Structure 1
Amino acid sequence: MIKLGKDIFSKIVSVAVAAVMVLTLLPGRSVSAADIDLSKKGSMTVIHHSADDEPLEGVKSRIYRVASVDASGKYTVLDEFSGCFSDSSFFNNGYDFDAWKSCVDGVKEYVKATNVKPYKEGVSDKQGKTYYEDLDLGVYLVISDNLVDKKFVHSFASFVYPVPLLERGKESEVMEWVYDVEVAPKKESVERIIDEEFVVYKRWSDSGYESNRPSEITVKIYCDSSVYKTVKLNSSNNWKYSWTYEPGHEWKLVETSTGNNYTASLSKSKDENKYTFVFTNTYNPPETPPGNPPEDPSEPVTPDLPSVLGAIRDLPEVLGARRLPQTGQLWWPLPILVLFGVFFIFKGIRKNSKA
């Protein structure tokens, strides 16, 4: 929505009237005003208001002295701006306000292209006024920057203006030179569309298991069900990504890679026009059966054997046997016991034969 200022044309008309008054200064014309006092300094107050005529504080502006003036009111373009005009007496060519206005864009481009330094710079106060004092007399180009607030972008037209200005006296019909002038540039205020701000963070809940974190994770950002962007979060970007976008859209974030044994949860918050998404990845250690410590792969594993005594089964060669002794039983005494048994049997037989 564009709001046009109430006095867009009022100032233009006033300057036009002043320009018509200045026509009397052309050579050969009789004037009722005295000559310009070149020993004086002038001043210019630039008034910056919104389209609703509310004072605007903080508007930056600059003025450039484009032409000088002599006692009779004749203007001469300064050498610094001679490249803008084919005729150094441009501002004397009929004192046509439309001609003055038509030169503004060209002078602005010239200032930008040649990096001409401003004569003075200023910032508007709470009343929307910028005061330029102690000015050499002549013609000035005034350029104001845009001012952006929470609701509007306020812009101002550039213009040229003379110091002093020939006006009719307040208490008489005599024309007189006014050395302290006030002027308000044409303005407009355009409603601002404020972009919303978004940020996504990655948080880790894995105390003691930090080494298990992946080097990066991938997040897909959806705007109105369509993929807006796929981003990677890692230590180089501090596990963070931010963006701005115009309001009125629905956003959804999906983490497509969480890391081994991690589960991801998403929280969302809003502060004015800023949205914050936080992915928290929680580590889930693998479960270990009670009483059975994790196997050490560096140690050989002995296969399970049945508890039945004397069971026959295939065993690794390193065991050197196919019959497994019972717990606490030793094989090496067995041959000795057999020999002792045979010895005692024979001894008993001999003893019985003697009897």
Structure 2
Amino acid sequence: MTRRETKPFGSAGRVLVAVAVLLAAVLAAVPATARAQVGIARGTVCSLEVEKCPAEGQGFHLALVARMDAAGKLTAVPALEDAVTETGIDPATFSEATDAQTLSAAASSYLGYVASGKGSFDEKDATVAGGKASFAGLEPGMYLLTADPATVGGSTYTALPNLVIVSRVDGSTYATDCQVEAKFEVRPAETQHNRVTKLWQGDSASTRPQSVQVAIYNGDQLYQEVTLDASNNWTFAWDGEGNWSVREKDVPAGYTCSVLMTRGDSESGQDGMDFTLTNTAPTGKHENPRTPGSISNTGDPTSPVVPAALLCAGGVLVLLGLAGRRREEGRA
């Protein structure tokens, strides 16, 4: 009987080992969220602490605009349906990965809807004490965070609105006790000169409405309704300090309306709040700016990386098998 001699790995064996190492590396690189989904238990209660608040006694407000399901997906509350339709900004496109600039832009557009729908957004209030404003008993979701202007020592502290998501992803779990730093604009206390302006995009003057109605709110109180049209250059101005927001009433069919909220400076003579309402015709031939809420999809378990790697590895194995068969036939 002839004893078969066992030889160490040849080139084919080394290639097989390399393929195995490659597959292990690719699978290890798949985000943890793609391999194991984290669930939020029913009845989870969250808290939010607003930090670095310089004005004691300043009032902060939260309004629930979207609920979060067990998988972390956001769905707009019924009271926000008009805002989603008329602005084209849907909370379902937001996640913990959404950048702060996108959230801030969406907050400016939602602000007037929340102000006009007081009592419909599960609102909560808190007062700054010890440099912090604390909210407890929050259900998981996305909240609009606002604050009343506060004047301390001759300076006025104004916090621009923002959207905050609780609970938050923390590794492989959800953190229910959340913190956010307040961002303030600080200016000398003085009379504010405010303005709202209507802009049109993607249409023509001959097809757009002759006028629009805009409601101006101070907090949740209606301050004034104004008509913007060509006769006033689509602009209205008013004086006074307040927690201002605006909402266009009855956005024309075929348009979406976004709101840009900025603060001017005393040197330009526009040292109050400046609101720009842009009505966009989606079918217009124009270059669209980045849509608020558009975010990259991270941690997608359907990512093409793994299938592509498996396909490549399979191709290598097939080639190795064909090469081995030819060598066997050559020996025969």
TM class, shorter-length: 0.3 to 0.5
* TM-score for the superposition, normalised by structure 2: 0.43
The structure richer in helix per residue is 2
* TM-score for the superposition, normalised by structure 1: 0.40
Higher relative contact order (CA 8 A, sep 6+): 2
Structure whose CA Rg is larger: 1
